[in-house]
Structures are given as structure tokens and as C-alpha cells.
Amino acid sequence: MTPRLPDAEHQLFVRMRQGDEQAFVALYRRKQSAIYRFALHMSGSATVAEDVTQEVFMALLRDECGFDPERGTVSGYLFGIARKLVLRNLERGRSDVTLDTESEDGVAPELAVTDDPLAELTHREGIEALRRAVVTLPRRYREVVVLCDLEEIDYAEAAVALGCPIGTVRSRLHRARALLLEKLHQDRGSGLPLSRWKTVRCEI
């Protein structure tokens, strides 16, 4: 079996563990948004997502950090930590079902001024329908959709993050997509044709 070659994130991780602060900053900038989105979609709470993101990167600085390059990538490891932290928060009952859709100034991010406000509104409604649909999925299906479809990490990384075989990731994702499409069909006001799934999914 050909050994896994260190990727850029692995190299940053090694440098960070050797005391390179700039490597930590670079790794944080590369992965912070993805970790935050994962935690947000899993918990439905911006507050929980912020806390989880902070805790994930703090975990990297601890002496007992348990990343093993033989078991997977840095990305898979970070998502795995985020998943455990989200589950801990869910067990404590801290999460909210309603997603925060407004920015700090109180304006929904998808409602920026454009030349076609009607089209922008329709697009926003479609994205929000997809957000709501994702949040309603059972946890084991929601997490594979967020990882594989929204964050577009590969099945191997998802398997490491979730602590299950790749075959389980595939079967859960198949079921999750069916449930998600069924939910979107039921939401007649979603404004989200199924053909737009690949376009919209990266925006939520």
C-alpha cells in the first residue's frame, strides 16, 4: 500500500505542533469557516457553532492532541472533534432549532442590494428552505449531508470524522439525500427546483 503523502494541512499541523504560530493561523484560516458551517448545520445555533469552532482549534494546541496521520487527514480529524463537541452540546440541550439567518447589522446576508431584488428574494427563500430541510434530518443523516454534500469532503475523511466504515457513510448519504429531496418536495413554498441543489448547496 502506498503511504499517504503529507498534504498542506498536515504540514501546517506539524509546523504548528513545533511552535510555529503562523502555521496555526494559516490552518485556522483554511478550516475555520468549514468547521463553523458544520457546527451550525448540525446544531441550528450560531452560538453553539461559534463555541464549537473555538474549542476545536483550542484542542489542537493541547499537549494531548491525538491526531494520527495514519488514520486520516487533518480535515477529517477536525470535523471529528467538531462532531463530538456538537453532540455534547445537543445532549445538554443547548441547541436551538431555528437557524440564525441575519448578520450582525440585522440584515439577512442573502438580501444584499442587487439589480434584481425579486430574483434575490426567491434565491434567499430557496436557500432558507434547504437550511430548514437539513436541520430536520435525523442526526446520523444530517451529518453525512453536511460533510459530503455541503462541505464536499470525501467519503474517507467523512468516515474518519464519524468513526464509521466508508460503506456506512455511503448508505447513510443515499438515505439522507432521499429524505432531503422528499422534504423539499413537501415544502411547496421553497422556490428551490431540485436542479438547483448543486448550485445552492455551497452557499448555505
DSSP string, 146-202: IIIIIS---HHHHHHHHTS-HHHHHHHHHHHHHHHHHHHHH-TT----GGGHHHHGG
pLDDT tens readout for residues 102-161: 333 333 333 233 444 444 444 555 667 777 788 888 999 999 999 998 888 899 989 989
Instruction: Please give the pLDDT value at position 188.
Output: 52
Residue 97 phi/psi, 5-degree rounding, is: -80, -30
Res 55: pLDDT: 93
Contact criterion met (CB below 8 Å) for 49 and 94: no
Q: Quote the pLDDT of residue 33.
A: 93
Please check the confidence at residue 100 and state whether its pLDDT lies above 50. no
> Residues in the chain, how many?
204
Give the mean model confidence (pLDDT) for residues 40-64: 88
Using one digit for the tens of pLDDT, what is the confidence trace for 14-35? 898 888 899 999 999 999 999 9
Query: Helix, strand or coil for residue 80?
Result: helix
pLDDT of residue 104: 34
